[in-house]
Amino acid sequence: MAAKPALRAVAPDETPEPKRDLGLSLSEAIVKGDRLQIEYAQRRDIASKLDGASGPAAAALHRQLSLTNDKIDALESRDEREDDPVARVEDGKFDAAAI
């Protein structure tokens, strides 16, 4: 059984590390369940197959590579925009008559 990582408090100005390609195989990325890592692994797989491809197969791989890059861009930009997955909303005054 793997040991759980130790939890710690973070400083108010501390930011998370940016997501990066961990170099996982496709099956490792799937087991990890991280959509961005799965896309990175798929991109590496497609790129490795491009070297030996020609004709329609190469065209299909280029299209898949382009689509995968678009997905990666979208996932990375989403992570940048959504730095805090929990919404911070000020509590308002409760008005029972409004119900």
Locate the domains of the chain by residue range: 26-81
Cβ neighbours around 8 below 10 Å, total: 5
Report whether pLDDT(93) > 70. Answer: yes
Confidence band of 99 (pLDDT split at 50, 70, 90): confident
76: left (phi over 0), alpha (psi -120 to 50) or beta: alpha
Q: Which residue has the higher pLDDT, 99 or 31?
A: 31
